Structure 1
Amino acid sequence: MVSEKCLRKVILNSDVYTLCVQHALTTEKQEIMGLLVGEVDDIKCISKISACVTLHRSDKQPDRVEISPEQLCTASMYADQLSKKLDRPMRVLGWYHSHPHITVWPSHVDTRTQAVYQTMDPLFVGLIFSVFQNDSRSLNNLIQVTCFQAHQGASDLERTEVELVIQNSPFENYDLKGIADLPRILIQEEVECHDVKDNDTQDELANIHNDSFKTLALVHIVSKLSRPLCDDLEERLKTVNQRIRTLENLKKELQKR
């Protein structure tokens, strides 16, 4: 039974949005997922998401993802650490996952999963990022996002769209940590996946073959994710330094006046 209490609006930090999209674009063969952290106004039913936790996938599937209780506990501990650091009540507010090559709309499995989370927290929300979808008119890659909750319909569970606002905000240290953690988590997934395969065989040629594919996977992460992220952060640093210089000049002018 899904609670009648539901969200009215979700305000998503622009840096968190960027991190979620970058995470979704890391693979077009499996779904990825993570948890959303922030503050919630229980009276107005408005959530403000300002951080996210990238989850380690122990099982890669092209059509579904799941959150283990251990991962939910880890995200809750991270939210508690942020609460103490920022002196604000932070908690796990929702989850996000990707839909590579398919529409952004939640499947029946997504809706049932969302309903289960809402039994623990009626304001828990789900975000879905549709990636690697081609626009036949512009021939460009489309990226779409939807924000939803679940409610009990006349005969079955139904999804309810929630207003989503992407808001510019200062670049925080925990956003930087999330960006830096993403390549590390993906590398850890690949190493563990290939190590399991290596343990299944004693054939030397098979081990060499598996090592070659592991190397290719790691090179792909570095070339397609780590290097672009570094380039993006360098450009962001230049922009921030330029803004600092502008503000310092403005401060000097105001002091003269």
Structure 2
Amino acid sequence: MALTCVCMSANVYVVCLQHALSTEKEEVMGLLIGEIDVDAKAKISAVVMLRRSDKSKDRVEISPEQLTAATIKAEELARTLGQPMRVLGWYHSHPHITVWPSHVDVQTQAMYQMMDQGFVGVIFSVFLEDKTTKEQEVQVTCFQSPSRMAEGSMTPDHYMDRVEIPLRIVTSTCLSQPCLQSMVELPEILVEEEDEVYQATKRLPYLNQLAQLHNSAVYTKSLCHIAEVVEGPLLNALEQRHASNLKKCEDLAHEMKQLTQALASLPPIKSA
């Protein structure tokens, strides 16, 4: 059954956008988790951020091990939440370029649809600047590959074909635990990526002391950048949310006290 639309939780949208804005020079990627209802609506309620094996401004890859790990996480969420959950799609970023999928994106989407016809792709185009107003904007698109491509009958002339799927952002009353966990994991994933690159440079042969010192300085600078641009603002946002929640709890407790006093002052109800 063809998908009618994709309903993405506002929590998931915030997490994906935070991931896309974490780096201005390379693309990022993650997997979307949720379920498809009887009306062929894909409801996305969780996200799995992926650690990049290849950091590039125009290419991002996912390993089979990461897809397997995401599937396991979806099964764990299904048991925790008591509802069906599975990997429904993937998302990645387009920093400084158009939101429309490239021919590589369309081919990748077609490959995923061979395994699951309900699989969708979402692209976040970030760091786009209007040359006149100098204002930045974020664009989002949701797409699938044509069925003939997903069936393996594509031709080079059809590589740029795509099917746009309506995307709806569903309001969330609170930050869900799975999305909160994903937000907290983002700085850890970025540090792991930098550490992997740094450890690889240490294994290079004939590396003199000056080169080692330079690599260490670049590694330290990258960690400081993550702390300043990602971890610091995230911590401030969570602290503000925590303060807002405490204030809301105080207001609700005060309202409950007033209602309790009002009920106590009412005359007793006489039974017939």
Calculate the TM-score normalised by the size of structure 2: 0.89
Instruction: Tell me the amino acid that sits aligned with residue 171 of structure 2.
Output: N
Structure 2: runs of 5 or more not aligned: 264-272
Distance change >3 Å, CA 77–CA 60, structure 1 → 2: same
Structure 1: state its 5+ residue gaps.
none
| 8 A contact 1:6–1:149 mirrored in 2 | no
| Residue 91 of structure 1 pairs with residue 86 of structure 2 | yes
8 Å CA contact 2:53–2:62 kept in 1: the answer is no
Partner of 2:170: 167
Describe the SS at the equivalent of 1:145.
strand
Q: Secondary structure at the match of 2:44?
A: strand
- Whichever residue aligns with residue 231 of structure 2, its letter is S
Q: Deviations over 1:201-228 (max 9, x none)?
A: 4311111110000000000000000000
Q: TM-score, normalised by structure 1?
A: 0.94
Cα deviation, residue 137, structure 1: 3.5
Is 1:67 matched up with 2:62? Answer: yes
Pairs within 5 Å for 1:89-168: 89-151=84-146, 152=148, 156-157=158-159, 158-168=161-171
Report the count of equivalent residues: 252
Of 6, 18, 33, the match for 1:10: 6
Q: Deviations over 1:14-43 (max 9, x none)?
A: 1211111111111111110000111211x3
Deviation per CA, 1:131-158, whole angstroms, max 9, x where unpaired?
A: 1110234311111111111103895242
Q: What secondary structure sits across from 1:103 in the alignment?
A: coil
- CA shift at 1:231, angstroms? 0.5
Could you say what the CA RMSD is over the residues aligned between the two structures, in angstroms? 1.5
Instruction: State yes or no: 1:23 paired with 2:12.
Output: no
Query: Which amino acid is 1:27 matched to?
Result: T
Higher relative contact order (CA 8 A, sep 6+): 1
Q: Which amino acid aligns with 1:9?
A: C
- Which 10-residue stretch deviates more, 85-94 or 22-31? 22-31
The residue aligned with 1:37 is: 33
Indicate whether 1:226 and 2:231 are aligned: yes
Question: Which residue in the other structure is 1:193 paired with?
Answer: 197
Q: Deviations over 1:138-191 (max 9, x none)?
A: 311111111111103895242111111111222111111101100000000001
